[in-house]
Amino acid sequence: MYDFASVAEWIKLFSGLLVPIIAVVTVYVALQQYNLNHRQYRLALFDRRIALFYKVTEFIVVIVEDGAVRSFSTCGQFLRNTRDHQVLFHAEVGQFINRLYERAVKLHAIQVKVSEEEQQKEIVEWFAKQIDEAESPPSRAGTTAGSCAA
């Protein structure tokens, strides 16, 4: 029949292994939850990042199409629409957005003077080249804790 001594040894062996098995399963579940939360965080940021991307490219396209900045309030609206860049991206993207704003203000100032058409043309051409820069992903260098690759 059954040898009760060997059954007792098996029970002792399994009860000794139960704690490490539970620990391994717990660590596995915790890692899976961490990965899931990280993916959800990135997905939540993606929606905000893509909205900001569309606002930047729309601003550039309007200036290139019109060859001018309609009003100074257009520049201010652009700045308000893109203020989240500090939270959503690293400094390189913020510098790009600031350059766009500064050039738009300069273009508007030139339009007011009307006599500086050559400078106006140069700035409009600069904006036309920015579409490529806006669509290219920024380098991974200089990323901050608040930014993740989308």
What's the pLDDT score for residue 144? 42
* Mean per-residue pLDDT over the chain, rounded: 80
pLDDT, tens digit, 9 for 90 and up, residues 1-53: 566 668 778 888 888 888 899 999 999 999 999 999 999 988 888 888 888 88
What's the pLDDT score for residue 15? 85
What's the pLDDT score for residue 138? 64
Global pTM reads 0.56
N-terminal to C-terminal alpha carbon distance within the chain:
65
Read off the pLDDT band of 116 (50, 70, 90): low
- Measured from the Cβ of residue 52, the count of other Cβ atoms closer than 10 Å reads 19
What's the pLDDT score for residue 112? 74
Q: Give CA–CA dist 3/139, Å, rounded.
A: 69
